[in-house]
Amino acid sequence: MSKDLPTQQNPDEIDLGQIFKLIGNAFDRFYKFIKTIFVNLFHLLMGVLLFVKNHFIKLAIAGVLGLGLGYFLDVKTPATYESKMIVEPNFNSVQQLYNNINYYNELAVAQDSIALSSTLELSKAEAASIKEITVNGFTDENQKIKQFNDFIKSLDSLSGTRQLVSYEAYLKNLKQYNSKFHEIVFIATNPNVAVKVQDQIINSIIKNNYFKTQQFVSKKNIELKDAVYKKQLKEVDTLQQLYKNLAIIEAKKQVSGTNISLADKTTSNNEGLALINKLDQIKDQQIDLNNERATKENIINVISNFPSLGVKSSGIFKTNKFMFFISFIGLTLFILILLELNSYLKKYQQSRENV
């Protein structure tokens, strides 16, 4: 009589079942976690909406008052005009430029029209119209990369310093006055004032004796390099002519049946090729020198002048209407939140006392 043997389960099937169960439990916990987040966000949103609903009239009154006060101030306040100039300082004059502009701005903010008119050679009325003068460096990604490459080239390659400086570290330590170009922004109630002070702003830099000396030395160095490159060109040209004459002589010998060594031909060809490469190198150096001469011709290069008339400052975000509207609503919200918090703390204290 045969007995039914118990069915044995495969251990691999048991392990797979446990794995699927664990995966299912993990997904279930993750789903509950996501659900909890959305539920809490929903309750928070409802709480904010209820808060706004309960205090809507107060917030509306605050907004209308801020809007009205801002509109009144906008009508009474004279319109301002903005002018911009872009410059490229040379010979480390950028720090002096920033110091001068910051000084002018301090006088404008302090409304010291007497000192400002004397410094910028303006009438007192024109100086009093100046509201703000600022300067900021600006650059794009390509210029940053070029500046980084120039910085790396200036480092000592033998000491291994180049390998220690990364592009990210260079950008982290890059200050705004390290930029190649700088924008001077001039804001005044008189649209004609900016163009009148442009020469004075530039002259305050170029009259400095230190920068004059640097400019003079730079000019002499460029002239010296130019003379050296021209001399090298003549020497290369003379050598090329010499090799041409030698090639003609060798060709005549070959026609007359004289044996010519293959090594001599190879040497002559290599030397001729080296001269051509040297000629191209000198020409590239002359191009770089001409670019340097054009860039460093002046202590400060004016890339873009102040316009003859400033542009009227516009934009809702710059008006008093916007600023007072946001400020009044923000202040009202802050006060209401403090009152709600105080009410909650009182209820919490009473509940603790009743326990």
Query: What is the overall mean pLDDT for the chain?
Result: 83
Indicate the pLDDT class of residue 274, thresholds 50, 70 and 90. Answer: confident
Residues 6+ apart with CB under 8 A from 226: 286, 289
Q: What is the pLDDT of residues 213-246, one digit of tens each?
A: 999 999 999 999 999 999 988 888 888 788 777 7
Q: Phi, psi at residue 79, to the nearest 5°?
A: -65, 145
Indicate the pLDDT class of residue 1, thresholds 50, 70 and 90. Answer: very low
Q: Which residues pair with 184 in a beta bridge?
A: 85, 135
Residue 302 near residue 90, CB atoms below 8 Å: no
Show me where the domains of the chain are located. Answer: 17-75+319-338, 80-139+179-312
Indicate the pLDDT class of residue 103, thresholds 50, 70 and 90. Answer: very high
Cβ neighbour number for residue 335 with a 10 Å cutoff: 13
**Amino acid sitting at position 197:** V
Q: What is the pLDDT of residues 85-95, one digit of tens each?
A: 999 999 989 99
CA distances from 341 to 128, 229, 352 (A): 48, 79, 16
Q: What is the pLDDT of residues 175-212, one digit of tens each?
A: 666 788 999 999 999 999 999 999 999 999 999 999 99
> How is 203-267 classified by DSSP, letter by letter?
HHHHT-HHHHHHHHHHHHHHHHHHHHHHHHHHHHHHHHHHHHHHHHHHHHHHHTT----HHHHHH
Residues 6+ apart with CB under 8 A from 102: 135
Indicate the pLDDT class of residue 263, thresholds 50, 70 and 90. Answer: very low
Stretch 164-178: mean pLDDT? 69
Please say if the pLDDT value at position 324 is more than 70. yes
Question: 348 or 314: which carries more pLDDT confidence?
Answer: 348
In angstroms, rounded to a whole number, what is the distance separating the alpha carbons of residues 172 and 167?
Answer: 9
Rg, the chain, Cα only: 39
Q: Which residues pair with 136 in a beta bridge?
A: 183
